């Protein structure tokens, strides 16, 4: 069995840091911004206080409550799969292990919300005139960055195999 330093688990400190930052930002919003209120920071960006009972882009948010446990189960399964995958990723696979660590941190951050509150707390809102991007949080951001790194790594790995 390989040591943690030889696997993707060497990023455990980043996973914990991102979970703590995500949860701290959500606690700040819960205590400083009234529900459905916001604090404008830029002409195109504000901190808001909203809940998402669904998944990305509020998918299934009005499904009646069963989706809480459905998305919780999915997050648990994905987290276990990624944790096992991280334990098998070699030290040389930097992009892959970092990508998995980011996705795991974000998945756990939102999983904590679902378990504790029954919904995910979102607060980052980007908009322009009448256009508005769905409100998101730090966990969503690191999942997105991790997914981009996973895609980049898959193309890089494919290119390396072909040459």
Residues acting as catalytic residues:
122, 140
CB 10 within 8 A of CB 100: no
User: How far apart, in whole angstroms, are the C-alpha atoms of residue 73 and residue 125?
Assistant: 27
Which DSSP helix (H) or strand (E) runs through 123? Answer: strand 120-128
Is residue 109 within 8 A of residue 23, CB to CB? The reply is yes
Rounded distance, CA 41 to CA 162, Å? 47
Determine the Cα–Cα distance for residues 100 and 142; give it in Å rounded to an integer.
10
């Amino acid at each position: 069995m390989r040591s943690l330093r030889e696997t993707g688990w060497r990023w455990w400190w980043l996973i914990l840091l991102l979970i703590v930052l995500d949860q701290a930002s959500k606690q700040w919003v819960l205590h400083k911004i009234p529900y459905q209120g916001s604090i404008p920071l830029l002409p195109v960006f504000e901190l808001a206080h909203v809940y998402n009972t669904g998944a990305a882009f509020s998918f299934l948010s009005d499904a009646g409550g069963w989706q809480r446990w459905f998305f919780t189960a999915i997050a648990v399964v994905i987290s276990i799969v990624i944790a096992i995958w991280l334990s098998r990723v070699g030290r040389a696979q930097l992009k892959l292990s970092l990508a998995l660590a980011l996705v795991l941190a974000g998945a756990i951050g939102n999983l904590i919300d679902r378990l504790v509150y029954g919904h995910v707390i979102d607060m980052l809102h980007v908009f322009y005139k009448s256009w508005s991007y769905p409100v998101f949080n730090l966990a969503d951001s690191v999942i997105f960055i991790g997914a981009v790194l996973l895609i980049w790594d898959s193309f890089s790995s494919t290119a390396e195999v072909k040459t």
